[in-house]
Amino acid sequence: MAQKTIPQRKRARLAVVTAAIVSFILAPGAVRAAEPITIGFGMALTGGLAAAGKTALLAMQIWQDDVNTKGGLLGRPVKLVFYDDQTSPPTVPGIYTKLLDVDKVDIIVSGYGTNLIAPAMPIAIQNDRLFLGLFGMAVNAEFHYSKYFSMLPNGPDPAHAFADPFFKIALQGNPKPKSVAIVGADAEYPKKATGGARDIANESGLKIVYDKSYPPTTADFSPIVRAIQATNPEMVFVASYPPDSAGMVRAATEIGLKTRYFGGGMVGLQFTSVKQQFGSKLNGIVNYDFWIPAPTMQFPGVLDLLKKYQAKAAEEGVDALGYYMPPYAYAYLQVLGAAVTATKSLDQEKLGAYLREHTFKTVIGDIKFGENGEWAEPRLLQTQFQHIKGNGVDQFRNPATQVVLAPAAYVSGNIIYPYSAAKE
């Protein structure tokens, strides 16, 4: 039987098509176009900062999904590459070395918190990489690295800005307070925040009647609160991380701390789980925050983000409301995405230059970076817990339970003082 053959013309046409396919596959740009843009970071998914770290990760994943639904960046999908830093600074250098040397990610960003950002800075600098930090207190004050950008609304002088609103509000009291106690953990962020508080107190002519730090492993804060109470301060400024913030509130409540103004820099009171845990015991505390659902804070897109976040929160086992961290975790990737899109590049120099020169519209409002990559203008909120009853979560959706006292553009309520009266 005669063997069937492909006609010569068809064979020639097939050869041309095959050659074109092979040429396309082997072309450098063709393979690269199919690869994702990778963004690498460590994140506190276990340990003391995990409650916030997990919410940051979820918000970042929502950003990833939003961007990929719209076609990605530069025609490529975006992929987050991350590892648990365990809220342990010694793990951080190894994580970022692996991200750059093994995973070969395109861009690095930070995990949550000063203590976890600072150890990554030398790695970013040594590799000449763009680096965005999430809630890092004056991390770049020592390095002055031109490719670092901070997602923290403290402005160009972060250490002083963190304490400044608390002091300004208290010093408007009648009569004007004359004494202050300053206390914080012996760790990176609290040391910088208490240092700023100390400077402001001295400049304001306040008498510092107590000024001490405590080990981060401290579990019982009763002796500390008793020692503070013994000095009879009119103001008590606290810079603490979540576990010790909870311990400080517990001790202040049990001992019956008597002072006119209490709070300032307590990390953790922003978390829904902590709000539920303490409920009405939070009343009267004046403390920083970054975003709350006050009418003055509803920037374009933020409520849509929180709707998506809250729909996933229960399944992911994270903060039910997500007011503190998620808007900022989403926004710092928004900023990054805008820079990549505008420059049409992943070149670290081009991205850094664009970030330094432009204003970015995000779910937390307009952002422009200034000296050392800090925000050009501060927007740290000072808030007070008021009229909380019981421990129900839904009441914290009501802006009346946490009012904005400063800055002036975002004020949503008036302060109640002294602290003991506001608790009633």
| CATH number for the domain harbouring residue 217 | 3.40.50.2300
378 within a domain of the structure (yes/no): no
- pLDDT by residue for the chain (424 residues), tens only, comes to 444 444 555 454 544 444 444 444 444 443 344 599 999 999 999 998 898 999 999 999 999 999 999 999 999 999 999 999 999 999 999 999 999 999 999 999 999 998 999 999 999 999 999 999 999 988 999 999 999 999 999 999 887 988 999 999 999 999 999 999 999 999 888 999 999 999 999 999 999 999 999 999 999 999 999 999 999 999 999 999 889 999 999 999 999 999 999 999 999 999 999 999 999 999 999 999 999 999 999 999 999 999 999 999 999 999 999 999 999 999 999 999 999 999 999 999 999 999 999 999 999 999 999 999 999 999 999 999 999 999 999 999 999 999 999 999 999 999 999 997 777 6
H/E run at residue 15? helix 8-26
Q: Using CA atoms, how far apart are residues 117 and 92, in angstroms rounded to an integer?
A: 8
- Cβ pair 386, 411 in contact under 8 A: no
- Cβ pair 150, 133 in contact under 8 A: yes
Alpha-carbon 332 to chain mean position: 9
Domain boundary among 349, 373, 397: 373
> Do residues 283 and 344 share a domain?
no
Look at the chain and report how many structural domains it folds into. Answer: 2
Q: Provide the strand spans (E) within 158-306.
A: 179-185, 207-214, 235-240, 261-266, 286-289
- Cβ pair 133, 168 in contact under 8 A: no
Q: For position 159, what pLDDT does the model report?
A: 78
Structure tokens at 165: 């609103």
> Do residues 141 and 249 share a domain?
no
Nearest partner of 216 among 196, 245, 259, judged by Cα: 245
> Do residues 132 and 210 share a domain?
no
> Do residues 346 and 246 share a domain?
no
- Domain extent, residue 178, equals 158-289+386-422
> Do residues 54 and 118 share a domain?
yes
> Do residues 276 and 315 share a domain?
no
Q: For position 242, what pLDDT does the model report?
A: 87
Q: Using CA atoms, how far apart are residues 395 and 397, in angstroms rounded to an integer?
A: 5
213 within a domain of the structure (yes/no): yes
Q: What is the pTM of this model?
A: 0.84
> Do residues 163 and 268 share a domain?
yes
